[in-house]
Amino acid sequence: MDGTSQDSEIEKAFRLLCQGFSTVSHSQIYTAHKALYQIGAPAVPKIVAYLESMDVSELKSKNHSALLTGLLALLNDIDESKAREVGMGLLLKECDNAAAQLIKKVLRFTLSDYNLYQIGSITVCESKSLNSDGLIKRKLCEWVDNVPPDDLAGLERLYVVPYAKQDYGGTYTPILFNITIVWFEELANENFMSNLALFEKEKTFYHEVGHHRHRHTFGQQSSQEKEANAYAYRILRKSRPRLMGVLSFVHRLIPGWLHKKINDYCRAQQRELS
């Protein structure tokens, strides 16, 4: 791509990004984010210039806040050192408290806090705060092997992060094709409840892969959740037929009981560790 056409692509993606934030269109935001991230370093001057021109003395709207954090996060994804330079420069300006907190939150994210490795074509980003002694990598390798390769096509990153009172066990980000799995420290324990909790985490992984397989869009739509659940159970019936038979029987007797017991156990164990 020559300089002129690349500049045109940068302008086009940047306009789409700004439009996405002004209209709160997640599909536009992530499409533009991905385009600019893939362009990489040549897009940095445009992002930096816009950030440095922003008025951070007062955040006038939610859209203004979202644009600030979105642009700084994009810059951080492309070039962490430049993002820190720009972010610190904004903090030195007449910056209101809300803007300062948003800037600091974005700058707290760094890939240096993760162990990076590949499982097939997927880049795994495992939080260094999870001292799993290789358990996470071993389990992810097992789970990935249970999934048809075509269903994983295009999946770019898999983040494994510690439990920090999230109200979800995993997420899927359309367009960017990223999965995040929330991991509990006690999954490394060798006992009955920990093994059941590990099974529940395996199901979560397949559920998020199901979202990717069906290229689901943003929002928790019941039809999408049902489709992702059906996908997860289909994989589990093939990989763990006996266990699935037992757990299905328990679920029919007491719907939702096992899932609640596992979550209660994990959260109780996590409180003891904190």
Give the separation between CA 147 and CA 1, rounded to whole angstroms.
Answer: 36
At 7, is the secondary structure helix, strand, or coil? helix
Residue 145 has pLDDT above 80, yes or no: yes
Q: What percent of the chain has pLDDT over 90?
A: 66
Render pLDDT for 221-251 as a digit per residue (tens, 0 to 9): 899 999 999 999 899 888 887 766 666 655 5
Q: What is the pLDDT of residue 224?
A: 95
CATH number of the domain located at residue range(s) 113-273 in this protein: 3.40.390
The mean pLDDT of 193-207, rounded to a whole number, is 84
- Determine the average pLDDT of the residues in 252-274: 55
C-alpha to C-alpha distance for 135 and 202, rounded to whole angstroms: 13
- Taking the C-alpha atoms of residue 92 and residue 100, their distance in angstroms, rounded to an integer, is 10
**Looking at residues 168-195, what average pLDDT do you find?**
82
Residue 41 CB burial class (10 angstroms; 0-12, 13-18, ≥19): exposed
- Using alpha carbons, select from 130, 123, 76, 128 the residue that is nearest to residue 103: 76
- Residues with Cβ within 8 Å of residue 132, at least 6 apart in sequence: 126, 183, 187, 188
Domain with CATH 3.40.390 in the chain: 113-273
- The answer to whether the CB of 64 falls within 8 A of the CB of 98 is no
Q: Which of 45-54, 103-112, 215-224, 242-251 has the lowest mean pLDDT?
A: 242-251
* Higher per-residue confidence, 217 vs 265: 217
Res 69 pLDDT > 70: yes
- Tokens (6 digits) for 101: 């907190």
Q: Which residue has the higher pLDDT, 142 or 194?
A: 142
pLDDT for position 58: 85
Q: What is the 3-state secondary structure (H, E, C) of 154-205?
A: CCCEEEEEECCCCCCCEEEECCCCEEEEEECHHHHCCCHHHHHHHHHHHHHH
pLDDT band at 89 (very low <50, low <70, confident <90, very high): very high
Averaged pLDDT, 8-29:
94
Give Cα 53 to chain centroid, integer Å.
29
C-alpha 239/C-alpha 94 separation (Å) is: 58
> Which band of pLDDT confidence, cut at 50, 70 and 90, is reported for residue 253?
very low
DSSP-derived letter for residue 221 is -
Whether 228 contacts 216, CB under 8 Å? yes
**pLDDT at position 264, please?**
62
- Which amino acid, residue 129? S
CA 171-160-205 angle, 5° bins: 50
Averaged pLDDT, 14-42: 94
pTM of the model: 0.84
pLDDT at 187 over 90: no
Measured in whole angstroms, the distance separating CA 22 from the mean position of its chain's CA atoms is 23
Mean predicted lDDT score pLDDT of the chain = 87
CA distances from 69 to 98, 130, 136, 154, 206 (A): 11, 27, 31, 26, 31
